[in-house]
Structure 1
Amino acid sequence: MLTDTNDLDTSPASVRQRRWMLPAVSAAQLMVVLDGTIVNIALPSAQRALGMSDASRQWAITAYALAFGGLLLIGGRVSSALGHRRTFLIGLIGFAASSALGGAAVGPDMLFVARALQGVFAAVLVPAGLSLLTITFTEPEERGRAFGVFAAVGAAGAAVGLVAGGLLTEYVTWRWCLYINAPIALLAVLGTAFVPRDARRSARGGGRLDITGAVLSTAGFSAVVYAVNEAEPLGWSAPKVLVLLAAGVLLLAAFTAVEIRARDPLLPIRVLAHRARAGAFASITLMFVAMFGFYLFMSYYTQTVLGCSPVQAGLTLLVNALAALVGATLIAGRLHGRVPPALLILPGLLSAAVGIFILTRLTPHSTGIFPCYLVPALLLTGLGLGCVMPPTASLATADVPQHAVGAASAAYNASQQLGAAIGTALFNTLAAGAAASYPTSAEYAAPAAASVHGYTTALTVAFALLMAAMCIAAPLTTARTTRSPARSPHR
């Protein structure tokens, strides 16, 4: 059963109050996703203002990614133990405060600490938000709309971050790329004021924290994310990267062994053992690997090859954001509960794969770049992402006991973070390697020919990953699952 219905107030007044939850959770989701990309645009300006060295500037990005990805599973457990609404409010206030600290930074160290604190509070905020949606919206139609809006915000947030980052940096100051979180958090807090208080916690939900599992999961995820970040400047074959990857894999394997035997596991293994849920995790991870490689391509290609400004490059991605909004709300949101999840996930993966395949046909001599290549690719990848996120988010938390919803939500978001980190580093490494090996003779000479070759090579890998995701997800998500969390028997 999805929720403990005895702990939920289902009176008409309470139902009306809970409708405030969707905009509050969506605002929080926008803030967290926005911050994953908005600082990227502001980083050159911040580096000049604070006197950051080239070697240390990456920590403005890495500190956030490490804290966020490394602490997500702990954040899910904290949410279940303290109550999802209470944890959500703590995350909102902490994220806003750490963002203000970063915006007021007077030196690199202050900025790096603020970014790490943002990651800490994001790690409790995101699982709590998804958990609130899961245990609140149980009717199929209502649930479809809720997850559609939530997914649309997540899918469009990265593109919006690039646009907002460019505009704020160019016309105001880079500091507002961090200050902007304060008003968004305030709106979310105001919306949460109308959300019912946490139901009483079950004994299992408030169990003892699995310290060993917490340490192993944090160290393992942090090692993998750090290795992936280091792979960009050093290369995947660098000893430091290989050692970190090996350590991360071993730590996560040890974490799995501990969780199987733990009395109160941080991540109940049955959350991952469910076939459809495993398909959802695999789908969203590989989708994010491919899509964040795609976003990196759009940023580099439009600016370095087409000569667009950062703002123009960001605005181009709005086509993708709008397509994701349509896919998540008008397609996936409306069809949720009416069709099997696989009928949304598999076509979504295919749509994104076709969109990326179009870009692999680019050459240095291609004409009609925007109408023939970029716009179709942006539309198809956006629709694909919008169709994949709502059903995978729903599957990831469906049929999970209430005390384990936080863990399932955290695992789903950890899959996204890991996919995004791997996608960015993998694409960058593949593109740079292919460009470096491109022939330099006059026969191949053309403006940015090596760069285009590098991009299309990396995009070919992204296309292959999406096709692999379809092959993995098809037998898992089409399998017969447990009964749908359509409605509570007490309603």
Structure 2
Amino acid sequence: MRRSPWSALVVLALAQFIVVLDVTIVNVALPDIQQDLGFSPSGLQWVISAYTLIFGGFLLLGGRAADLLGRRRVFIAGLLLFGLTSLVAGLASTPEQLVVMRAVQGLGGALLSPAAFAILTVTFAHGRDRNIAMGIWGGLAGLGGTLGVIAGGLLVDSLSWRWVFLVNVPIAIALVALAPVFVAESRVRPAGRRTFDVAGALLGTGGLLAVVLGVIRAEPLGWGSAEVIALLAGGLGLLALFLRVEARSAAPLVPLHLFRSRGLRTSVLALALNGAGFLAMFFLTAIFLQQVRGLTALETGLAFLPMGIAAIVSAVVASQLVTRFGTKPVQFGGAVLSVLGLLLLTRADATGAYATQLLPGLILFGIGIIATGTPAMIAAVAGVRPDEAGAASGVVNSGYQVGGAIGLAVITTLATTHVEGLLAGGANPQDALVGGFERGLFAAALFAAVNILTTLGAPRVRPTADQVEAAVAA
């Protein structure tokens, strides 16, 4: 049966759309989730971290499974898992149930997202049609992040927080039904034995989970407690085993030789720091706007909208600037704008005008975060052989997700500790929350400031138009 590639693109892009949407749509629902299920302030971050850690940790394994088992098959399996866990998450009655479902939901995303991108690349031949398809793919991904805050606000205010998860279910069912009709099956036929490197994925993700949990537990227990030391030491030990397994594997998930490329090394660090700043800012600001300023979920989503628009514009402008000036100056400028945006946001209090206290910082941060990430992704892909560009893209995307989860843990732990200290000192709850918000954003600004230093060591790449489109779409 002859299938239209453009029909396949609709199915694939919609699937990627709900994966991206799910990162931002949940943020505006966090205060309602906390109140309804009884999350502690430090535990609430797991609603975000569980998803991003598992998604990032298994992204490369999902791509490998898609290549070897069949891309459409893994794509449909990921959709089914994503839809089922969205249903159970929407019905969760305890914090533990929701966090576990968010983790498994991240695994579903890690299966379907790389499979969808791989199908896209084999469905469209290199040239004009593929460039158009990549542009649509990348554009919808950016739009998903922007619309997520609005959709989340509408669902929370008109129905309940549960619908930020339940809304995925009918979409997933429809896409599962449409995929066999419009999407052709494809796979890689390896010359030797099929190798998935499950051990590498489990060791890497387990190590990262232990480190994040150690950071979070340090807030109530102290950094010198036996539990925290055991978690951190165990996590680092698992990560060391992960590197050993990858170095010895015939087909590693993370080809360590890729890190000989200076562009890839600096890009992984830059995107990890970018993820840390973005997730922490989003998490803290969403709670600040609702619990301190008293905004509804929809009003919170609308407050974030200018940042999303600025990010979309920045993606277009940054792609043009890197072809003219190279990646390094654009990345440097983006990192500086990110720091300035976060510092401006620290000036916000409970009563000041949105237009003067929040809007400038949100716009600058929206521009800066994309102007940093776009050239970093381009430099990562341009610094390796063309046949390894997919692996490099997977590594930096995983770095972004994992860095975001670790950064969120560190920054929110610092913010929560400060809030509790202020309350213990007699401050009223509103002033304590404002103080925690400011402390958290200062910490996020430090992460962004490190990115300025990272950029100084990055190569200056002048990419081709094809390299720009491929990197932005990935």
By the TM > 0.5 criterion, same fold?
Answer: yes
- 1:349 is aligned to 335
Distance 1:412 1:45, change over 3 A: same
CA distance in 2, matches of 1:391, 1:140: 22
Post-superposition offset of 1:219: 2.1
Do residues 281 (structure 1) and 265 (structure 2) align?
A: no
Distance 1:21 1:391, change over 3 A: farther
From 309, 318, 321, give the equivalent of 1:332: 318
From 352, 368, 376, give the equivalent of 1:392: 376
CA distance in 2, matches of 1:292, 1:175: 21
- 1:264 is aligned to 251
- Contact kept, 8 Å, 2:75 with 2:116, in 1: the verdict is yes
Post-superposition offset of 1:450: 4.2
Q: Aligned with 1:255: secondary structure?
A: helix
Post-superposition offset of 1:290: 1.2
Do residues 201 (structure 1) and 189 (structure 2) align?
A: yes
Distance 1:170 1:291, change over 3 A: same
CA distance in 1, matches of 2:76, 2:449: 39
State the Cα deviation string for residues 380-400 of structure 1 (Å, max 9, x = none): 111122333444344444566
Distance 1:139 1:228, change over 3 A: farther
Q: Aligned with 1:425: secondary structure?
A: helix
Do residues 470 (structure 1) and 452 (structure 2) align?
A: yes
Give 2:148's aligned amino acid.
G
CA distance in 2, matches of 1:399, 1:18: 30
CA distance in 2, matches of 1:288, 1:94: 25
CA distance in 2, matches of 1:140, 1:274: 27
Post-superposition offset of 1:276: 0.9
CA distance in 2, matches of 1:232, 1:408: 35
Post-superposition offset of 1:268: 0.9
CA distance in 1, matches of 2:171, 2:331: 31
- Contact kept, 8 Å, 1:34 with 1:160, in 2: the verdict is yes
State the Cα deviation string for residues 129-159 of structure 1 (Å, max 9, x = none): 4445667789698777766665555556455
CA distance in 1, matches of 2:100, 2:305: 31
- Contact kept, 8 Å, 1:139 with 1:487, in 2: the verdict is no
Distance 1:473 1:428, change over 3 A: same
Q: Aligned with 1:198: secondary structure?
A: coil
Do residues 68 (structure 1) and 55 (structure 2) align?
A: yes
- 2:16 is aligned to 29
Moved more, 67-76 or 348-357: 67-76
- Contact kept, 8 Å, 1:259 with 1:269, in 2: the verdict is yes
CA distance in 1, matches of 2:151, 2:183: 29
CA distance in 2, matches of 1:346, 1:391: 9
What fraction of aligned residue pairs are identical, expressed as a percent? 35
- 1:185 is aligned to 172
- Contact kept, 8 Å, 1:73 with 1:217, in 2: the verdict is no
Post-superposition offset of 1:285: 0.7
- 2:157 is aligned to 170
Give 1:203's aligned amino acid.
A
State the Cα deviation string for residues 398-437 of structure 1 (Å, max 9, x = none): 5666875664344223212222222322222222334455
- 1:4 is aligned to none
CA distance in 2, matches of 1:419, 1:149: 27
- Contact kept, 8 Å, 1:97 with 1:182, in 2: the verdict is yes
Distance 1:230 1:381, change over 3 A: same
Do residues 307 (structure 1) and 289 (structure 2) align?
A: no
Give 1:360's aligned amino acid.
T
Post-superposition offset of 1:446: 9.0
State the Cα deviation string for residues 213-255 of structure 1 (Å, max 9, x = none): 2442232233234334545665656543342222222211221
- 1:127 is aligned to 114
Distance 1:437 1:298, change over 3 A: same
The alignment of Structure 1 onto Structure 2 pairs a total of residues equal to 467
- 1:370 is aligned to 354
Distance 1:64 1:359, change over 3 A: closer
Listed as ranges, the matches of 1:223-238 within 5 Å are 223-230=210-217
Distance 1:298 1:345, change over 3 A: same
- Contact kept, 8 Å, 1:220 with 1:250, in 2: the verdict is yes
CA distance in 1, matches of 2:469, 2:35: 55
Post-superposition offset of 1:100: 2.9
Moved more, 79-88 or 172-181: 79-88
- 2:407 is aligned to 423
Post-superposition offset of 1:375: 0.9
CA distance in 1, matches of 2:343, 2:330: 20
Do residues 118 (structure 1) and 100 (structure 2) align?
A: no
- 2:392 is aligned to 408
- Contact kept, 8 Å, 1:62 with 1:226, in 2: the verdict is no
CA distance in 1, matches of 2:100, 2:428: 45
CA distance in 1, matches of 2:156, 2:175: 25
Distance 1:83 1:203, change over 3 A: farther
Instruction: Return 5+ residue gaps in structure 1 as ranges.
Output: 1-12
CA distance in 2, matches of 1:307, 1:273: 50
Instruction: Return 5+ residue gaps in structure 2 as ranges.
Output: none
Q: Aligned with 1:209: secondary structure?
A: coil
From 328, 345, 348, give the equivalent of 1:359: 345
Post-superposition offset of 1:327: 1.5
- 1:7 is aligned to none
Moved more, 468-477 or 399-408: 399-408
CA distance in 1, matches of 2:448, 2:100: 36
CA distance in 1, matches of 2:465, 2:191: 25
Post-superposition offset of 1:317: 0.8
Q: Aligned with 2:458: secondary structure?
A: helix
Q: Aligned with 1:207: secondary structure?
A: coil
What's the C-alpha RMSD, in Å, of the aligned pairs?
4.2
CA distance in 2, matches of 1:246, 1:324: 38
Q: TM-score, normalised by structure 2?
A: 0.80
- 1:247 is aligned to 234
Normalized per residue, the structure richer in helix is 2
CA distance in 1, matches of 2:459, 2:172: 35
Moved more, 40-49 or 220-229: 40-49
Q: Aligned with 1:423: secondary structure?
A: helix
Post-superposition offset of 1:468: 1.5
Post-superposition offset of 1:272: 3.0
Q: Aligned with 1:201: secondary structure?
A: coil
- Contact kept, 8 Å, 2:135 with 2:469, in 1: the verdict is no
